[in-house]
Chains A and B, each alone.
Chain A
């Protein structure tokens, strides 16, 4: 049986403040057009992932278990399933879009990608 240590006020306050900072940073980056395009996407997704870990640790107490790490194991398994679902869907749909272009779309694609 895992022993789960109790949290304190400090834990929640730190989690809250960090989450606030991460949230506001992400919004400011976009609203102020500080970054754009791919840089912006990488930045805000990065901030989101960090906030995920912050909330998992400080709010959901995920780092606290002692062995065996059941909660963590189930989370990692679910993460794997999620990676397959999202990654797999994007891969399949990209492939479909490429293979099922209409003549008009083909013209546009050839012009943009092959310089024709």
Chain B
């Protein structure tokens, strides 16, 4: 499976390495070139030698998403640290690029208990991977 992960933080990079280890093709997009470091940590070879792709770019920019391979993606994970960015790019992946499986990670801060803080489930169907 070709998976595009946007956001190379702790969660994104960990997921990326796992998926690559399972034999998938993984492309990671992050706006900071620095974040590539997280992809090389705890790996036998570096990210690219292991077959991974890494693109520097802004999540919301179509050009960046295309360069990172969204047109060929089987799955898309929006894992930036901005909830709203994640919700928007997951919708773009679904509606504009018809990526079969798109999910958005919503990591919200402390919230009054019992209140679903964001309408995560509404926009990204059929499933969302959220820790709301």
Task: Verify that A and B bind, or say they do not.
Answer: no
Which residues does A use to contact B, with CB under 8 Å?
none
